[in-house]
Each structure stands twice: as C-alpha cells, then as structure tokens.
Amino acid sequence: MGVIVQKYGGTSVGSIEKIKAVAERVIEGHRQGHKMVVVLSAMAGQTDGLIDLAHKISPEPDLRELDVLMATGEQVSVALFAMAVKSMGYNACSLLGFQVPIHTDALYGKARIQDVDTARIMRELDQGRIVTVAGFQGLDSDGNITTLGRGGSDTTAVALAAALGAEVCEIFTDVDGVYTTDPNICPKARKLDKISYEEMLEMASLGAKVLEIRAVEFAKKFNVPIHVRSTFNREKGTMVVPETKDMEKIVVSGITYNKNEARITIKKVPDRPGIAAQIFEPVFRSGIVVDMIVQNTSEDEITDLTFTVPKPDFHRTLKLVKEVARDIGAEAVLGDEDIAKVSIIGVGMRTHAGVAQQMFKALAKENINIMMISTSEIKISCVIEEKYTELAVRTLHEAFGLDREAEPES
Amino acid sequence: MGVIVQKYGGTSVGSIEKIKAVAERVIEGHRQGHKMVVVLSAMAGQTDGLIDLAHKISPEPDLRELDVLMATGEQVSVALFAMAVKSMGYNACSLLGFQVPIHTDALYGKARIQDVDTARIMRELDQGRIVTVAGFQGLDSDGNITTLGRGGSDTTAVALAAALGAEVCEIFTDVDGVYTTDPNICPKARKLDKISYEEMLEMASLGAKVLEIRAVEFAKKFNVPIHVRSTFNREKGTMVVPETKDMEKIVVSGITYNKNEARITIKKVPDRPGIAAQIFEPVFRSGIVVDMIVQNTSEDEITDLTFTVPKPDFHRTLKLVKEVARDIGAEAVLGDEDIAKVSIIGVGMRTHAGVAQQMFKALAKENINIMMISTSEIKISCVIEEKYTELAVRTLHEAFGLDREAEPES
C-alpha cells in the first residue's frame, strides 16, 4: 500500500491527551499497511502566545526572527507526537522543515514552497517509521528558517502528498467536512461528499475556513485528492477532487457569505482612458486588496465606480480615494460598511442557463435589494445590506435545492 | 578589535525586560568595536516546562525527540534577543545549531561537540551584525538535532570562542564570579580575581555551580580565557586562565563541599587479585558513578573497602554490593548516608609541603573526625560527618588564609 499524508490542526493536537489520541489514530493507518506521513500544526494557543512574546519585544518584530520564533510551535508538536508513537511501541521520527528539507523562497512570514526533497522521508518510511513533519515551516536557499503564514500547515501537507505521490492527503480538523453553507446560520446545511478544486477555491476565498486557499491551489496543480474530515469522529468527510462529469448535474454546490468587506463608490467620474488605473494606484501601492470592482457603462462620458475592500482597510482607503477623486474632478465619494456579500458556487453553472436570474428572483422575493453584482465562470456574488445576510443565505440554500431532507421522526 | 563571545544563562534572559537589558549590554560592546557573538540559554523555567510536557507523554520519552523538543527553548531566546537588538536600531542575526553548524556526535541529551564551522558566523559579523547563537544544541552527521545536556550553553560558548579565536569568553551568570567557598555558609568567602583551569575543574566537579565542567575542559584544551561575571552589575568577575607562576604562591585557592554522596563499606574482604574488579563490576554496569575509593593495606590477606556514590544511587548500590559480598565471602556491608566531603583546592599544593597535615590539624582542632581521605595533585578531600560540613568549611577557609579582611569601619 502507498503513502497517506495526514494533517492535524492546532485544536486536534491542543493537549497531551489529544496528541495521544492522534497517535493512536495514525498507528491504525500504519497497522493497515499504509506509509504514514503526519503533518502537525502548533498546539492550539501556542502560536498566539509566541506572537504575544514577540510583540512585547517590539511592536513590529523583525520578520526573519519572527519566523525563527514561530517555527518552535510546530517543533514542539512533532517532538511530542513522535514520543507518543514511540511510547506506544511503534517507531517514529520527527522532521523539521530544514531536515526534510522543504525549500521555500525567502519571503519571511509568507514563504512559498519551491521544492520538497523526499529522500529523507522515504528512507525513514522504508525503515518502518511513522514520519511526522512540522507544518508551516521551510528553509530558504541561504539556510534561514521561513514560515508559510497562517494555515501553512495545510500547504505543507498537500506539498508533501504531491511530492510523495500519496494516495490521499487527509486534512483533519474540528468540523466534519465542507458544508453547503455555514450550519450556524442555516440549520439545513448539508455536508458535501465531494467538491471540485475550483469550487473549493471559491468556497475558501469567500470565507469557508476549512482549507487554506494555497493548499487547494497546490492540490489542483498536482492533482492531489484531499479528504477533509473530523479529528473527533470516524465519519467520512468531504473529498476535494478534480472536476468530474457528474458534478455538473448539480447547478449550485454551496452558498457562502462574507461580512468583512466595505463598499466605496466614486460618483460621477469622468470616463476617460487610464482613469481606473489612476484611482487604484494609491490603493494598490498601500497594499490594500480590492475585491469586487463594478463600473457601469457611462452616460455622457461620466460614470460611477464602486468597489469593495476589507473592513479594516476601509477608512484608510476612503482617505486615499477622496484625494484622487479631488484630483480627477469626481463629484463625491461615498462609503458603506454595513454590507455583506452572498455568493452561489457550482461548476454546474457553466452548463446551466438562468442561474443568475434564479438567484436574483429568490432575493427579490424576500425584498432583499442587490447593490452590486459580480460573476465568474462558477460563481455569482451579490452585495446586499448586511442585516439581510442570514436570510439571504437560507433563501438561496432552499432555492437551489441544497436543504437537507427532514430527518424521519423517530 | 577582535571577537568577544558572551554567554547569558537562563536567569539572565528570564523575562522580556531582562532580554532587553542583555541586548543593551551587548550593543555597548558592539559600539566599542568588538565583534559580538552571544550564546543564550533557554529562558528560566522553559526547560523544566518542556521536560514536564515530555513526561506527560511518557515517563521515559524518546531521547532523539526529547532533543528536538528541548532545542526549542534556546530557539525562542535567540529569536527574541535578535528582535530586541534590531528594535534598538542595530543589526542582528540568530543562528541555531544546524545553521552554524555546530557538529556533534549522536549521543542525544549529552552530545559532544566535534567541530564548529565558523564561516556563516564570520560572514554575519563581517556585515556588522551582532550574532546570537542558540546554546546547548548541535547537529549530528545525519542531520538530527542533538543537545549537549544541562549547562551545555557554557560549552557552546567556549567552543565558539575557541573556533573564532575570540579574545575572551564571558560567562554571565547570577553570581559575581568564583568564590573561595560558598558565601552562604562562610560569610568571609572572597571573590577570586583569577583561577587556573585545573583549579576550576576541581571546583566545578566538587559542587561550585558557576561553570559547566565540560566547558572548562574545552577552554583548557584550547587556551580560551573565560571571564565569569554577573549579568546584573558591571564589576569584574573571575578570570579562568592558564596556570601562571604567581598562582603557585597561594597554597589553597578554594574550599568546596559536597553533601550529595553516600558511603558504603565492605568489611573483611578477602584480599586477592581481581577482587576490586569483581566488586565494582555490577555497580559500573548499572551506570552508577563511584567517586572516592579507599582500600587499606591488608592484614592477614583481609581488607576493608570503602567507596562513595551519589545519594540517589545509594540503595541500589547497597543491594548490588550485598550480593557480591555474599559471593566473595566478605563479612558485612555497611552504609552511611549522613556524610559530606570537604576539599581544599590549589595548584600551589604541588610545591608546598605539609598541606595535608595542615588540613587534618585544622579539622582535628574542631573535633571533626575524618572518615576517608583522597588526594590528587591539586586537591585533598576528606569525608566527614554531614553535620560538621559548615563548620569544617569555615575552619579550613580561615586556616588557609582565605578569609576576607574585615571591612574598615566607616
């Protein structure tokens, strides 16, 4: 049998008891004959504790040294895990980023994996060992420690799975899998049996926090099947896999929402070539990520331009844009923080007509006004008033046939 | 100006404030033009916390993984220290054992340094950086993390000083230097301005806890001058240096004591060749370290054999020895835990006659009975009843002229 890569997040290894439980679960796979490679995050709370320490030294700690500090979190996890496996009578070996090695670029705090050397891991596996690899960390070409940024352990796991040609990359987390929408606001949300990489990417970037977006991109690139499942039960979770024909039968796979954006509108912008570039130049230069941008067809060479930015960047952006607006002679700049974005996602949209219309009608029926619309091949997003978010999600969930069937009365 | 290696122990970097204070002190040296290399221990308490974690996983945690775990302690210290230096406007760079690299053998938990590569450190120093190196850790030839055992940071510092040809290796600690004896039991103890490596080795191995014994051996081998001094003031401490002519003028440099041993006597051992080997075989095989061994000239081919072992090994040793005693037909085995060893140390003994006699007379004057005597070139040790320890130390301190002169009345 082949290699299985498993990744356990911070809550899954958040205590000595939990680490022992994970060890038992991994040993099961080992006893079934699989070659087990286990990627671990730092124990829950550790990472925040280390960041606190750094901030007591300096409000803006040096990035190289911050990575050296942060990397200790995963180091502790893998050492304790390997001890636990050994104390249960099985052989194990921990490997840090520099020992694999996992080569990255030198962007401290958000490094990207460039190459994974599999020789050492394979040697340990061939000797019958369970190999545990510290997630989130790597080594740049000068031998400095780097980290991949928050959630980077997912990426480590998928990169290892790709390099090792693993059968599957299992991402263990504190939820059962990927749901059609957030069960907290829509009790009828269903767990998906499978979802395509493309859909998962849209789900991840729109706020479903089960899988790190870069990990999904990596998995898509190298065709690594991901199994998102719970650490705390034995149920099957959700397979994230390449798109298949039968996925297209389902028009919409999931509904997501995002309350963390704010909207800025520039009224009566003179519509001439280069104007958009001029407006966004200071925003991009400040490192602010603009999400949706909507510009209407102009009337009399005057147009309105609307876009959204993350709420924490709202006031900064507003100030920057007001300056530009004055320079270019726009009429006014309006801002609105009380908005939300609801989206429907599904590869089936490509082959089904009228999906957008169906969405607009469902929202209209509940008197929810649509402020902005943005579409991609497999996604339609609408910006609405924030207070309607939950209602909109439940309405769309029902409208696209995602509601779970009622449990039979017992 | 040349390289200065400084080492700060766990209490010296025990809090964020202390780390900042150390950074300020190191920057002073840097501004004076020295190339500063700073070896740090784990923050006080960290190491014990990590050991606790490991023991919650297993009463006997795997040694390889224990080293992976323990190495995080120093990693945290050097990262925070380098951040602190940088936040004060100076350039710094932390290096872990694998990054220097410090090559060791593969004896996890008590590895020995085999080689220090200075290229990376020199490159960083030449770029004007303050270099901080994680103490206590190294890398074996297979790329595994090793640790040097408790107090190993002293050894790291001396090894770096030797490899870099440093002017001096400054060991910063929570005491002012090396004293003629323990000031807690002898208020007239004086700080020594200098002491030879040989004397320091005897002092260290007999219980003066300022410097790790392996660090002194290393310093002696490579002629590295060590300056033991306080983190918390600017006073000069004690220089540990090669022996010089003028050192011989002083007969005794220091008095040490050790209450951590127990005595075992085998009565009426048949005195035939190979009998000592037969007696100690099971003791050595159990890894028990025997300190003093005394055997009297035999009468009628029957002799008494007495030796000391660490108190924690006393009962185990007693059991082993009783079995052997039966086998060889010895009369009885007696044990005594209430003993102490007091020693006088000084390179001057080599050239002064009657030193032992002077010691015995001083003890006799206070009615302190001597149970065992053992001598080396620069040391005489007597085993006495434990309750007389403090009295014996004060008596010898005065007898050999070590008492501090009375402060002039103000």
Q: Indicate yes or no: pTM above 0.80.
A: yes
Strand partners, A92: A130
Strands lying side by side in the sheet with B372-376: B254-258, B339-345, B379-385, B372-376
Mutate to test the interface with A, among B19, B58, B68, B72 (most CBs of A within 10 A): B68
Instruction: List the structure tokens of A140.
Output: 């740049």
pLDDT band at B320 (very low <50, low <70, confident <90, very high): very high
Percent of chain B residues topping a pLDDT of 70:
97
Residues B275, B296: Cα–Cα separation, whole Å? 14
CATH of region A243-410: 3.30.2130.10
With a CB cutoff of 8 Å and minimum separation 6, the contacts of B80 are A53, A54, A57, A65, A69, B13, B16, B19
- Would you call A393 helix, strand, or coil by DSSP? helix
* Cis peptide leading into residue B101 (ω within 30°): yes
Quick one: A3-174 is in which CATH superfamily?
A: Acetylglutamate kinase-like (3.40.1160.10)
Residues A245, A344: Cα–Cα separation, whole Å? 20
Determine the distance in angstroms separating the CA of A218 from the nearest CA of chain B, rounded to an integer.
28
Burial status of residue A370 (CB atoms within 10 A of its CB: 0-12, 13-18, 19 or more): middle
pLDDT in tens, B149-169: 777 999 999 999 999 999 999
Mean pLDDT of B314-321: 94
Instruction: List the structure tokens of A297.
Output: 């067809």
* Cis peptide leading into residue A101 (ω within 30°): yes
Please indicate whether residue A157 or residue A285 has the higher confidence score (pLDDT).
A157
What DSSP string describes B134-159? ETTEEE-TTS-EEE--TTHHHHHHHH
Tell me the domain boundaries of chain A.
Answer: 3-174, 243-410
- Report whether pLDDT(B407) > 70: no
Mean pLDDT of B224-243: 94
Q: Do A83 and B93 touch (CB under 8 A)?
A: no
Q: Do A83 and B71 touch (CB under 8 A)?
A: no
Half-sphere exposure (Cβ direction) of A390: Cα atoms closer than 13 Å: 7
Q: Do A58 and B82 touch (CB under 8 A)?
A: no
- Report whether pLDDT(B410) > 70: no
pLDDT band at B208 (very low <50, low <70, confident <90, very high): low
Q: What is the number of H-type helices and E-type strands within chain A?
A: 11, 20
Residue B391 and residue B366 in contact, taking contact as beta carbons nearer than 8 Å: yes
Determine the distance in angstroms separating the CA of A85 from the nearest CA of chain B, rounded to an integer.
10
Tell me the one-letter amino acid at B286: S
Determine the distance in angstroms separating the CA of A244 from the nearest CA of chain B, rounded to an integer.
44
Strand partners, A265: A306, A334
Instruction: List the structure tokens of A52.
Output: 């606190």
Mean pLDDT of B246-268: 90
With a CB cutoff of 8 Å and minimum separation 6, the contacts of B338 are B385, B386, B387
- Report whether pLDDT(A170) > 90: yes
Nearest residue to B224 via CA among B174, B173, B122, B156: B156
pLDDT band at B207 (very low <50, low <70, confident <90, very high): low
In three-state form (DSSP H/G/I as H, E/B as E, the rest C), the secondary structure along A23-75 is: HHHHHHHHHCCCEEEEEECCCCCHHHHHHHHHHHHCCCCCHHHHHHHHHHHHH
Quickly tell me which residue has 């490159």 as its tokens. B123
CATH of region B245-410: 3.30.2130.10
Task: Please report the number of interchain residue pairs, chain A to chain B, with beta-carbon separation below 8 angstroms.
Answer: 117
pLDDT in tens, B15-30: 999 999 999 999 999 9
Residue of A69, A83, A120 lying closest to B61 (CB–CB) = A83
Q: Do B57 and A20 touch (CB under 8 A)?
A: yes
Q: Do A98 and B93 touch (CB under 8 A)?
A: no
Strand partners, A340: A384
